[in-house]
Chains A and B, each alone.
Chain A
C-alpha cells in the first residue's frame, strides 16, 4: 500500500534519510523503531510531503506521491498525527473536528464526529473548549480523532505516547488496537518498545537514515540482542 524506495530526505542542507526503503502492507500496522535522531519522524514527514524527497520515491496505492503537496497527499487518504499534535489553538475542539469532518464525509459507515466521541468520550465533554485548553492526553485524542475523521486509508502516527501519563498511554494503546482490529492500516513511529511491538504486526529498525532490520513484531520481541544493539532496550 505504501512503498518507500531508496528515499533521501532531510532539513535544508542536512540530509537525514540516506536511501531508506520500506513497505507498509494494507490492513497491517507497521512500527518504525530506532534511537533518537535515526530518521523516524523525518520518514513520516517525507511520506506526508512536509519534507521533499531529494532522492528515491514514495508511492501510495501504486501512485507516486513524492513531489506532491501535503494537501494532495491528504486527499489521497493518508492522515497524519504529528508528534507535536498540532491542535489548532485558536479553534474549539468541535471546530478542530469539523475541519476534517467536512472535508472527508463518508456516508456509509465512515467516521463521524459522533463516532469519534464514542471512541474518545472525553472529547465530547470538551467540545466547546479551546484547542489551547487541553491536557496532553486530550490533545492526543483530538489529534487521532481528527485524523480518523479524514476517513483515511492509512493513519500515520508520530510518537503517540510521548509525554503522556501511563494511564493515558494504556487508553491510547487500547483505542489504536481497536482501530487495528477494525482493519485500519497504520504506520507508527514510537520510542516505547512495548507499546509499539504489542500493536504492530511488522517492524522496521532505522539507524542513520537507513533500514537496518525488518521483520515481524514477534521476531523482534524474541530477539534481545537485536533490541539491545539497535534500540538500547
Chain B
C-alpha cells in the first residue's frame, strides 16, 4: 500500500487539510498570547460556537450565509468577552486566566447543549464544492481541497498584513515588547482588542469550514483544544511562522502516524511535544521578543 503514489498523495492531502484547520485556530490563539500574554483556553469553545452558528445559519441562509456570518458572530461574542472578562483579567496572571477561561469552556459546553441539544448536527457541503476531483491518481473531495485553499489564503493575507502594513508592524512590535510599543505612542489597548476579535473570528471561521466534515457536537471545542495548544507550543508562542510549522507538524504526524504506525499513533505527537520541550522549550520558531 505504501509503495503506491496514490497513498502518499491522499495522506498528504488529508494531513494538509487537518493542518490548515489547526492553523486557523492556532494562529489567533498564539498571536493573542504573544501580544497580550493572555492564556485563552476557551479558544476551542469559540471554534465550536462558530460551527454551531454556521450550522444554524446554513439552515436559513444556505451554506455561504453561515460561512460569512458565523465568524462575525464569533467576533461579536469575542468583543463581549473582551470587555467583560479578558480586559480586566489581562494583568491577573496566568493562573487566574487559566481558571476563568477553563470555566468558560464548561459554560460554553452547557450553553450549546441547552440551545442546540446533545445530538450531533450535520451540515451539507455547498453545491459548488460537492463531489470529488481527480488529482495525481486519486480522487479527493473538492470541499476538503477548499479547506486547504482557504487555510493557504488566510495564511497569505495574514503574512501580507503582518509584514507589509503599519498595523502589522505595530502588532509585531507589540509582540516583541508591548510596553515599549506604548511608549512610542502605539495604542496597545486598541491593538489588543483588534487582535483578540480577529483571532476569535478566525476560530469561528475554522468552526464554520469544519462543520460539513466533522460532526458538530457540544464537546468539539474541548476536543480541538489540546491539539491547538500542542501546535502553538511546538511552533513557538506568539509567532505566525510557529503556528504554520506547528500545524503542519501536527497534521502530518497525526495523519501519517495513524496509517504507518497505528499502534503508536496516540503517543507520537506527545513524544514529539516532549522532545521539543526538552530540546527547544521556546518552540521551533518563537516570536523574537
Contacts and interface: CB of A to CB of B under 8 A. Distances in A.
Contacts of B177: 86, 88
A104 interface: yes
A48 B183 contact: yes
Given A89-B289, A90-B288, A95 B186 contact: no
B171 to A, nearest CB: 10
Interface in A66-116: 69-71, 73-75, 79-80, 82, 86, 88-91, 95-96, 98-100, 102-104
Nearest to A74: B185
A125 B81 CA distance: 46
A90 B240 CA distance: 12
A99 B173 contact: yes
A5 B187 CA distance: 28
Given A71-B189, A89-B289, A132-B288, A80 B172 contact: no
A51 to B, nearest CB: 10
B179 A99 contact: no
Interface in B159-214: 166, 169-170, 172-173, 175-177, 179-189
B288 A89 contact: yes
Instruction: Tell me the dominant secondary structure on chain B's binding face.
Output: helix
A99 B166 CA distance: 7
Contact of A75 (B185, B287, B288): B185
B184 A150 contact: yes
Given A86-B180, A90-B289, A98 B169 contact: yes
A54 B287 CA distance: 34
Interface string B106-138: 000000000000000000000000000000000
B236 to A, nearest CB: 12
Contacts of A40: none
Q: Identify which of B175, B184, B189 gathers the most chain A CB atoms within 10 Å of its CB.
A: B184
A146 interface: yes
Contacts of B187: 71
Contact of A104 (B179, B180, B185): B185
A99 B288 contact: no
A104 B186 CA distance: 11
Q: Identify which of A89, A102, A131 gathers the most chain B CB atoms within 10 Å of its CB.
A: A89
B182 A90 contact: no
A50 interface: yes
A150 B175 CA distance: 21
A99 B183 CA distance: 11
A86 B188 CA distance: 16
B106 to A, nearest CB: 33
A158 to B, nearest CB: 12
A48 B181 CA distance: 12
Contacts of B179: 50, 70, 86
B213 to A, nearest CB: 35
Contact of A50 (B169, B176, B183, B185): B183
B111 to A, nearest CB: 35
A96 B184 CA distance: 10
Contacts of A82: 180, 183
A70 B184 CA distance: 8
Contacts of B182: 69-71, 74
Given A50-B179, A74-B183, A90 B188 contact: no
Nearest to A86: B180
Contacts of A90: 172-173, 175-176, 287-289
B159 to A, nearest CB: 13
22 contacts: A48-B183, A69-B189, A70-B182, A70-B183, A71-B182, A71-B186, A71-B187, A71-B189, A74-B185, A89-B288, A89-B289, A90-B175, A90-B176, A90-B288, A91-B172, A91-B176, A95-B169, A98-B166, A99-B166, A99-B169, A102-B166, A103-B185
Interface of A: 48, 50, 69-71, 73-75, 79-80, 82, 86, 88-91, 95-96, 98-100, 102-104, 131-132, 146, 150
Given A70-B179, A74-B185, A102-B166, 14 more contacts: A71-B187, A71-B189, A79-B183, A86-B180, A88-B180, A89-B289, A90-B175, A91-B176, A99-B169, A99-B173, A99-B186, A100-B184, A103-B185, A150-B184
